């Protein structure tokens, strides 16, 4: 069942007023992340980061009630934290390869074809900055949809070529052959400036929508590669009053979202 | 056995698997015993946390096999970063699923298991020894052949065990400790509490008895033996102490003082526990005005180079 009253993919960009003020940039980001899980069906939403976590719960409480969520440990939970299943790491990895999951990962670097790096900066043999390591990015990107959340859009993150391909992008998947492309999908990249996808002939990154108050030129200046910018870029859709109330009063009263996104 | 007796069975140059995950239920008492021993030149196989950090800081690692090293609530492990950035050891960096299937392969005495992970990624670039395997069936699909992660010894920490080596996890996740034990020629289990066999089923269902005595060589009773990592439900992660560890690990001078206080070469596990208790008492004591400690600084959201840190996997559902 789909209980959505907020089906518009884009809005006018007019800030929505509520008793506690118009929607903030962070709240637009929450909506943009939540939209990643629209229409996904009965799959696990795996958000990494505060804003995607708020977004996933918002989607679950509104237009995507079939979504599965975890408590961040090994329990599948409903939106109020009520346990409904067990998902230790070994089962989680099986769920990844079964494909019934859409993860939103972070990225220390991401390039125009959606290759993602969380391992290290510089030469892998002797990195200038060691980061996390590849984690599950290789298995994620070849098995279930992977979107990305970048809280601080800059040319240091949006780079021409990533130093270490952890999450596989379109060009690398194609070069690796049919086994790699079979389940490969990168639905969207959300940053604090806008939403991006790969709806271009060569599967390179495209500006899909701008958050209110952001211009295409600002995005271009903050991106370290040539970005496809359509003639008419829509605005990221506004949160509805009901969604704003959920974000502010139910899901994230502690405002974790504001610690991730510059006002 | 005692932690010292376990480490006495290890020798330099061995391949040692360490159970747990990140900063969760790591056999830290056994790692601390390892630090007090002369054993070095190790190939370490671990879903890495402070176990890797401590061994790296002490220069005991020749090669590390891992998918990540993290402190969970603190995304990046300072000792590991420093060691990597000075090229302190060789690294086999593989995906989390390749790691898991490597354990399965070893436990099942197979040379490899096929995974649809790694293809197209730089995992195959930085591990040129990796091979692919083609399905012999009609689909003819190509996969990475995740090599078996066979080890000389495995070290794991569990909530309960009996003297025979039947081990029990009581937290939400067994991690991969059973596979580590089955993939190793010798496996050593430390536990919060050593109990009689009959008591095991009083603590939890049969399904919690995942580590079995035929795959275990020795058992150590080590209450608090996962400290400062989490060991639910017995102990949560000691976040305050982990923060102190990470702060010290980021600064060579501070680390020398930290190591002298908590990890003296002539110390033992009992001394460590006492030192931690004393430290917590100091933290709780209100500082006199004339000797106000520096107020705790908020962790910086972004590192100096401006690269975004990854979100805390524990809090934000990073499972793989």
CB contact B262 to A (< 8 Å): no
**DSSP state letters, A193-229:** SEEEE--STT---EEEEE-TT--HHHHHHT-SSPPB-
Read off the pLDDT of each residue in A177-195 and give the average, rounded to a whole number.
98
- CB < 8 Å to A69, chain B: 317
CA distance A254 to chain B (A): 14
Give the pLDDT of residue A27. Answer: 98
Q: Which of A52, A107, A142 comes nearest B116 by C-beta? A: A142
Alpha-carbon span B69 to A43, nearest angstrom: 28
- Which are the contacts of B126, defined by CB distance < 8 A and separation ≥ 6? A124, A164, B91, B93
pLDDT tens for A124-144 read 999 999 999 999 999 999 999
Inter-chain touch B316–A164, beta carbons under 8 Å:
no
Give the tokens for residue B124.
Answer: 């195959």
- CB < 8 Å to B319, chain A: 46, 70, 87, 89, 92, 136
Give the tokens for residue B179.
Answer: 């596979």
Alpha-carbon span A223 to A61, nearest angstrom: 34
Alpha-carbon span A239 to A31, nearest angstrom: 6
With beta carbons less than 8 A apart as the criterion, state whether B157 and B28 touch.
Answer: yes
Q: Which of B85, B123, B141 comes nearest A134 by C-beta? A: B123
Helix spans in chain A (H): 25-34, 50-61, 89-98, 137-143, 170-176, 178-181, 216-221, 241-245, 256-260
Angle at A230 between CA A173 and CA A191, to 5 degrees: 65
Alpha-carbon span B109 to A103, nearest angstrom: 33
* Chain B interface disruption, residue of A109, A132, A184, most B CBs within 10 A: A132
Give the pLDDT of residue B250. Answer: 96
CB contact B310 to A (< 8 Å): yes
**DSSP state letters, B114-137:** EES-STTSTHHHH-TT-EEEE-SS
Residue whose token pair is 């099942």? B108
Give the pLDDT of residue B309. Answer: 37
Alpha-carbon span B227 to B262, nearest angstrom: 12
CA distance A168 to chain B (A): 6
Alpha-carbon span A30 to A149, nearest angstrom: 10
Q: What are phi and psi of B257, to 5 degrees?
A: -70, -40
Number of Cβ pairs < 8 A linking chain A and chain B? 204
Phi-psi region of A13 (alpha: psi -120 to 50; beta: other; left: phi over 0): left
Alpha-carbon span A213 to B212, nearest angstrom: 60
Predicted confidence (pLDDT) at residue A12 exceeds the cutoff of 70 = no
Q: What are phi and psi of A18, to 5 degrees?
A: -135, 180
Min mean pLDDT across A59-68, A99-108, B296-305 is at: B296-305
Other CB atoms within a 10 A radius of the CB of residue A187 amount to 17
Alpha-carbon span B186 to B85, nearest angstrom: 33
Beta bridge partners of A18: none
Give the pLDDT of residue B256. Answer: 98
Higher pLDDT, residue A96 or B304: A96
- CB < 8 Å to A52, chain B: 316
Give the pLDDT of residue A79. Answer: 86
**What DSSP designation does A135 have?**
T
CA distance B219 to chain A (A): 25
* Chain B interface disruption, residue of A47, A133, A158, most B CBs within 10 A: A133
Query: If residue B158 lies in a helix (H) or strand (E), which one and from where to where?
Result: strand B151-161
- Which are the contacts of A254, defined by CB distance < 8 A and separation ≥ 6? none
With beta carbons less than 8 A apart as the criterion, state whether B183 and B149 touch.
Answer: yes
Give the pLDDT of residue B285. Answer: 87
Give the model's confidence band at A2: pLDDT under 50 very low, under 70 low, under 90 confident, else very high.
very low
Alpha-carbon span B211 to B221, nearest angstrom: 15
Q: In a structure prediction context, what are the per-residue pLDDT tens digits for chain B, which is 320 residues long?
A: 999 999 999 999 999 999 999 999 999 999 999 999 999 999 999 999 999 999 999 999 999 999 999 999 999 999 999 999 999 999 999 999 999 999 999 999 999 999 999 999 999 999 999 999 999 999 999 999 999 999 999 999 999 999 999 999 999 999 999 999 999 999 999 999 999 999 999 999 999 999 999 999 999 999 999 999 999 999 999 999 999 999 999 999 999 999 999 999 999 999 999 999 999 999 998 766 554 444 444 433 333 333 333 333 333 334 44
* Chain A interface disruption, residue of B80, B169, B311, most A CBs within 10 A: B311
Give the pLDDT of residue A80. Answer: 85
pTM, entire model: 0.91
Give the pLDDT of residue B84. Answer: 98
Give the pLDDT of residue A262. Answer: 81
Give the pLDDT of residue B287. Answer: 66
Give the pLDDT of residue B185. Answer: 98
State the average pLDDT for chain A: 93
Query: Does residue B228 have a cis bond before it (omega within 30 degrees)?
Result: yes
CA distance A118 to chain B (A): 8
Give the tokens for residue A244.
Answer: 């704003």
Inter-chain touch A132–B115, beta carbons under 8 Å:
no
**CA distances from residue A227 to A134, A163, A188, A218, B110 in whole angstroms, order as listed:** 26, 19, 14, 12, 47
- CB < 8 Å to A76, chain B: none
Give the model's confidence band at A87: pLDDT under 50 very low, under 70 low, under 90 confident, else very high.
very high
């Amino acid at each position: 069942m789909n209980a959505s009253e907020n089906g518009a993919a884009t809005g006018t960009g007019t800030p929505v007023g509520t008793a506690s003020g118009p929607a903030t940039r962070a709240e637009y980001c929450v909506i943009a992340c939540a939209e990643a899980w629209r229409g996904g069906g009965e799959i696990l939403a795996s958000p990494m980061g505060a804003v995607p976590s708020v977004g996933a719960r918002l989607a679950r409480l509104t237009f995507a009630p079939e979504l599965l969520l975890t408590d961040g440990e090994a329990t599948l939970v409903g939106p109020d934290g009520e346990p409904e299943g067990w998902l230790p790491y070994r089962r989680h990895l099986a769920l990844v390869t079964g494909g019934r999951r859409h993860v939103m990962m972070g990225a220390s670097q991401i390039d125009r074809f959606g290759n993602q790096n969380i391992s290290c900066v510089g030469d892998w043999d002797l990195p200038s900055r060691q980061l996390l390591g590849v984690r599950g990015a290789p298995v994620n990107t070849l098995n279930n949809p992977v979107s990305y959340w970048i809280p601080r859009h800059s040319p240091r993150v949006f780079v021409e070529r990533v130093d270490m391909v952890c999450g596989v992008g379109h060009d690398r998947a194609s070069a690796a052959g049919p086994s790699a492309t079979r389940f490969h999908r990168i639905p969207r990249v959300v940053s604090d400036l806008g939403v991006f996808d790969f709806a271009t002939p060569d599967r390179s990154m495209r500006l899909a929508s701008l958050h209110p108050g952001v211009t295409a030129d600002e995005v271009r200046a903050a991106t370290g590669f040539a970005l496809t910018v359509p003639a008419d870029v829509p605005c990221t859709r506004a949160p509805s009053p009901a969604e704003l109330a959920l974000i502010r009063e139910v899901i994230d009263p502690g405002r974790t979202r504001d610690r991730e996104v510059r006002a | 056995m005692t932690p010292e007796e376990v480490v006495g069975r290890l020798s330099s140059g061995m391949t040692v698997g360490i159970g747990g995950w990140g900063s969760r239920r790591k056999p830290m008492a056994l790692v601390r015993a390892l630090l007090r021993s002369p054993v070095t030149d190790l190939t370490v196989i671990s879903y890495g946390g402070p176990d890797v950090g401590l061994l790296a800081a002490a220069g005991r690692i020749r090669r590390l096999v891992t998918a990540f090293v993290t402190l969970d609530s603190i995304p990046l492990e300072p000792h590991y970063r420093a060691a990597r950035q000075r090229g302190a050891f060789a690294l086999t960096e593989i995906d989390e699923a390749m790691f898991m299937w490597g354990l399965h392969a070893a436990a099942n005495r197979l040379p490899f298991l096929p995974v649809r992970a790694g293809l197209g990624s730089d995992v195959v670039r930085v591990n040129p020894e990796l091979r692919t395997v083609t399905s012999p069936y009609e689909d003819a699909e190509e996969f990475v052949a995740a090599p078996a992660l066979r080890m000389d010894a495995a070290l794991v920490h569990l909530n309960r065990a009996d003297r025979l080596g039947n081990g029990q996890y009581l937290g939400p996740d067994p991690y991969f400790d059973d596979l580590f034990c089955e993939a190793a020629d010798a496996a050593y289990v430390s536990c919060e509490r050593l109990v009689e066999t009959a008591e095991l089923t009083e603590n939890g269902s049969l399904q919690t008895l995942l580590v079995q005595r035929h795959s275990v060589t020795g058992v150590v009773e080590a209450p608090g033996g996962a400290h400062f990592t989490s060991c639910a439900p017995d102990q949560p992660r000691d976040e305050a102490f982990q923060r102190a560890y990470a702060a010290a690990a980021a600064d060579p001078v501070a680390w020398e003082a930290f190591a002298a206080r908590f990890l003296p070469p002539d110390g033992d596990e009992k001394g460590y526990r006492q030192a931690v208790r004393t430290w917590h008492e100091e933290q709780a004591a209100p500082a006199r005005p004339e000797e106000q400690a520096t107020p705790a600084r908020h962790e910086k959201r972004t590192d100096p180079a401006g690269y975004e840190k990854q979100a805390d996997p524990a809090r934000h559902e990073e499972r793989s």
